[in-house]
Amino acid sequence: MDFLRRAQEFVREVIAEFRKVTWPSRQELINSTVVVIAVTVVVALFLGSVDIVLAKIVEAILR
């Protein structure tokens, strides 16, 4: 029974913490999502181009 009491207390505390959270507005969420996607695309393009350049360099060295 101690487990059930602790589980109930845990759930109560989680609910209390969720009430303290400042949730973003829909527009803030959309803006953040766009920024994350844009940064992901830029980093992917950068890493892809670095990979291609390094592959060409290694290929030239191994010839």
* Structural domain that includes position 32: 22-63
Render pLDDT for 30-50 as a digit per residue (tens, 0 to 9).
Answer: 999 999 999 999 999 999 999
Is residue 9 in a domain? Answer: no
What Å distances lie between residue 16 and 9, 22, 23, 31, CA to CA? 11, 13, 14, 28
Judge contact between 24 and 32, C-beta under 8 A.
yes
Which are the contacts of 32, defined by CB distance < 8 A and separation ≥ 6? 24
Is residue 13 in a domain? Answer: no
Is residue 48 in a domain? Answer: yes
The model carries a pTM of: 0.67
Token representation of residue 37: 């996607």
**pLDDT over 70, % of the chain:** 100
> Over 90: is that where the pLDDT of 1 sits?
no
Is residue 3 in a domain? Answer: no
